[in-house]
Chain A
């Protein structure tokens, strides 16, 4: 599902990733671990097509990312994101936030997903009207709405208490069990219990 070949990345003159090569099979749950500054968020951004690598090749679902003509549609239809700070659009209500991410043929799934995640009653509220845990569940719902092949999550529980963290991990595990590949970058070692594969980074290199 994910093939990484010799990926390096620079911010200006500073190299943050060094010639990384690895593979993730379809349906795996990958935990990207490492300390702050190890390069895990940069690697996650590159894997999720949000950042172009300085060099190297990335294949997602068999397609070389640099050759994909409509990267926006590819991202929308095949990739789901969960960010640390949920990043919901503040002027859209919960339903509209999820609808913004949904492809036309998946809009009908919105209420079903909201119900599965136990947040259907929040659909007409705005992000500033719900709790942090509820927001992160909305972010997971948004990531799942298009039934993506891969979900990337960057510190998805960074701003949550342990109870809400467990809820988010279980939601990601449910997605993995249904066949979705899940890649999580986190400090939280609790996530290792859910992972089928672990990659640890230090100073931009795989340990």
Chain B
């Protein structure tokens, strides 16, 4: 087939188009996946461990929230409540690391962090996420000018936690001067959740009680991250796709002389369009495939880069992959077929002369 022959014989040109499309598609994949990954990690942290979340009323960020931990005793007595735990979420420089997440939690939540070595922390002790632990060979670490013994290391599927520190909530309370950032409540009856929310809300006027699903939907920080990641992804997407369309358009325009010769030899417009269609299809699908594999490889590597402490993460959904595939093919075809169609309608001798110019 002439289309494949054109690709294989013009190797440098084909390689440059391939490279342009691959880089554009990779940019789309990585930016979309990483920005989506940040939201995914945080919402997973909250969603997986409870049905209801209690935060301080009117606070835009859990970092600033302060809830009385004593509420837990009353909450545990509510019908259909199976368990509850409290957490303080903070961030602080740790040793030579400029910033790391700190999770102070009640002991009944320690099991959430899967121990890789050592034991769960007692007073004045911490366990380190595996990513963070690679950067400390000492037996103790300094957090906000206070020393903590390292009692073990843990692993977590959530990148934020892998790069963080877990300690007793009392120690975190001293560090961050609060009782708890939030309390998470689990229920043994999904139908009773709304009733539990009402009962907890009635306990204190300064608290806000929501199902974790609603919290994730309404959380201001998520909205900000979501909106900015949408804008960045959209721009990456638009620039990537426009890049693909421009590259294809330039390549087709540079082949006017060839189309003119073909028309002069009696080849139909359909023949030219068909060949450009196949060339574009082959190039865009192969480039997309390579971009997908490379993006998956980069996303798999990112959590293992110590410098990033596991805070950068991302995964590609099948829907995003399909959406990008369809968009790549459509934009590449638009970029190539429109100029090819215009060229095919031009008098052959003018095409030949334009190609020589």
Among A76, A87, A92, contact of B266 (Cβ-Cβ < 8 Å): A76
B9 touching A90, Cβ below 8 Å: yes
Give CA–CA (A52, B2) in the complex, Å: 29
Which one of A45, A73, A142 has the highest number of Cβ atoms from chain B below 10 Å of its Cβ?
Answer: A45
Cβ–Cβ contact B266 & A96, under 8 A: no
Q: CB distance A50 to B264 under 8 Å?
A: yes
Interface size on B, residues (CB 8 A): 23
> Is B350 located at the chain interface by the 8 A CB criterion?
yes
- Give Cα A52–Cα B347 distance, bound, in whole angstroms: 7
Stretch binding the partner chain, chosen from B148-156, B255-263, B331-339: B255-263
Complex contact B265–A101 (CB within 8 A): yes
- A77 on the interface (CB 8 Å rule)? yes
B240 within 8 A of A: no
Nearest-Cβ distance from residue A177 to partner chain B, whole angstroms: 24
Contact A50 B349, CB 8 Å, known A75-B266, A92-B2, A92-B5: yes
Q: By DSSP majority rule, is chain B's interface helix, strand, loop, or mixed? A: helix
Q: Quick one: which of A73, A77, A89 contacts B261, CB cutoff 8 A?
A: A89
Tell me the minimal C-beta distance from A89 to chain B in angstroms: 6
Tell me if B352 is interfacial: C-beta within 8 Å of chain A.
Answer: yes
On whether the beta carbons of A75 and B264 are closer than 8 Å, the reply is yes
How many A-B contacts are there with CB distance less than 8 Å? 60
User: Are A87 and B352 touching (Cβ within 8 A)?
Assistant: yes
Q: Is A51 an interface residue (CB 8 A)?
A: yes
B10 CB-CB contact with A under 8 Å: yes
What's the least CB distance linking B8 to chain A, in Å? 8
CB neighbors of A among B227-276 (8 A): 257-258, 261-269
Evaluate contact between B264 and A81: CB separation under 8 angstroms. Answer: yes
Q: A87-B257, A87-B261 are in contact. Are A76 and B267 (CB under 8 A)?
A: yes
Tell me the bound Cα distance from A74 to B348 in angstroms.
14
Cβ-based interface call for A100 (8 A): yes
Given A87-B257, A89-B258, A90-B9, the answer on whether A100 and B267 have CB atoms closer than 8 Å is yes
Contact with B348, one of A50, A89, A126 (Cβ below 8 angstroms): A50
Which chain B residues lie closer than 8 Å to A45 at the CB level?
A: 347, 349
CB interface residues, A 149-201, toward B, < 8 Å: none
Nearest chain B CB to A140 CB, angstrom units: 14
Residue numbers in B under 8 Å from A79 (CB-CB): 266
- Whether A51 lies near B261 (C-beta < 8 A) is no
Taking CB atoms, residues of chain B closer than 8 Å to A83 are 352
Q: Beta-carbon contacts of A106-128 to B below 8 Å, as 1s and 0s?
A: 00000000000000000000100
Q: What separation, in Å, do the CA atoms of A156 and B210 have in the docked complex?
A: 84
Kindly state whether residue B286 has any CB partner on chain A within 8 Å. Answer: no
Interface-centre pick from B263, B266, B267 (highest chain A CB count, 10 A): B266
Q: A96 contacts B5, CB within 8 Å?
A: yes
| B269 neighbours in A (Cβ, 8 Å) | 72
Q: Which residues of B contact A89 (CB under 8 A)?
A: 258, 261-262
Most interface-central of B9, B257, B264 (chain A CB within 10 A): B264
Instruction: Map CB proximity to A onto B318-356 as digits: 1 under 8 Å, 0 otherwise.
Output: 000000000000000000000000000001111010001
Closest 10 CB pairs of A and B: A76-B266, A91-B9, A50-B349, A45-B349, A75-B266, A101-B265, A72-B268, A50-B348, A87-B261, A51-B349
CB<8 Å pairs between A and B, sample of 7: A48-B264, A50-B263, A50-B349, A89-B258, A91-B5, A91-B8, A100-B262
